[in-house]
Amino acid sequence: MPELWYEHGVQLKRKIVYLLMEKQKVSLTKIFTFDTAHALENYPGKCRHIHGHTYILHVTISGDIRNERGHPYDGIIIDFSELKKWVHDAVIQQFDHALLLREGSALAAMTFPEWERIYLTGYQPSCENILLDILQKLQATIPINILVKKLKLYETPTSYAEWEG
């Protein structure tokens, strides 16, 4: 049994554990899925044609754990439902069931009435660049006291781009 030390009647070991808990950074990850089509301008392979993927996005954030006894959010960094709403509003809503084309490309110049959800990008819509676009959108709308720590965007079950801050 560990020895306990006392200071003014308080167990110091327990006090140290609580102090350590207050200083710890914890990460939370939520996983999102969305379907998006794209085409890679001037690409020498099949990806130059319009095609789609079911993307899987891992969003990892960190922040301070709230330590306010009696507060409804005591013991958490952010409510998972708030994390879900933030990512949905900033990212998923724009990318899901959209066609990403590079602005000024031959495909972007084509118009069809059925093409309602076209997102013209200033970049080649590769997995890497889509990930950086997602990062920018998240950082522009980030809740207070939250830090985007890591993003991982799966384009296929075995291929992904990753950013770590």
Query: pLDDT tens digits for 88-125?
Result: 999 999 999 999 999 999 998 887 777 789 999 999 99
Instruction: List, for the chain, all residue ranges whose pLDDT scores fall below the cut of 50.
Output: 1
For residue 128, the model assigns a pLDDT of 98
**Structure confidence at residue 1 (pLDDT):** 44
What is the structure's pLDDT at 111? 78
- State the pLDDT at residue 70: 93
In our burial notation (b when 16+ CB lie closer than 10 A, e otherwise), range 60-97 reads: bbbbeeeeeeeeeeeeebbeeeebeebbeebbbebbee
pLDDT of residue 26: 87
CA dist 71 and 80 (Å) reads: 16
Contact 59, 138 (CB under 8 A): yes
Reference 32, options 53, 54, 52, 57; nearest CA is: 57
CB 119 within 8 A of CB 127: no
pLDDT for the residue 46: 97
Rounded-to-integer distance, Cα 101 and Cα 115, Å:
12
pLDDT of residue 113: 73
Whole-angstrom distance, CA of residue 35 vs CA of residue 105: 22
Identify the architecture of domain 24-164 in CATH: 2-Layer Sandwich (3.30)
